Amino acid sequence: MAYDQFKKVETPEGVHIEACPVCSAIAELWRFSETSESPTETAVMCSNGDAFGPQSGIACEGCLLNMPPQEFYRDTIRDAVRFWNEYAKALTSQRRARNWEAAKVLRGPNYTPD
């Protein structure tokens, strides 16, 4: 029987996980261990594994955070959720600021916020 390195974990009651900051899909908790005897690490991952755009191959399909980099993996659920939520909020904030700046030309020179 093959060992499954990734196991989905139910989100504990009362724990909020931010949506994926890349594609806005639901994020999920996963546990990872190299072997059945290895220590486990927990990561929050984007649930969007559907291929889109110019993607090819199973390892390259879905959202970029469907399989996040190693720094997303933490020892505890609490630390994994905290890291994900901080990352998601920071990336969302940067994206909004850049979108606002890029839309400046559409607002025109006489625009004043309410």
Q: What pLDDT was estimated at residue 50?
A: 85
Instruction: Please indicate, yes or no, if residue 112 is contained in any of the structural domains.
Output: no
Q: Is residue 31 part of a domain?
A: yes
**Residue 75 maps to a domain:** yes
For residue 26, with 0-12 CB atoms within 10 Å meaning exposed, 13-18 middle and 19 or more buried, which class applies?
A: exposed
- Res 51: pLDDT: 79
So what's the pLDDT on residue 72?
Answer: 97
Count of domains in the chain?
A: 1
Residue 113 lies in a domain: no
- pLDDT digit string, tens, across residues 43-101: 999 999 887 777 766 666 889 999 999 999 999 999 999 999 999 999 999 988 888 88
pTM above 0.85, yes or no: no
- Whether 10 is covered by a domain: the verdict is yes
Measured CA angle at 21 (ends 17, 23), to 5 deg: 110
Residue 1 placed within a domain: no
Domain containing 63: what range? 6-107
Half-sphere exposure of 48 (CA within 13 A, CB side): 14
114 found inside a domain = no
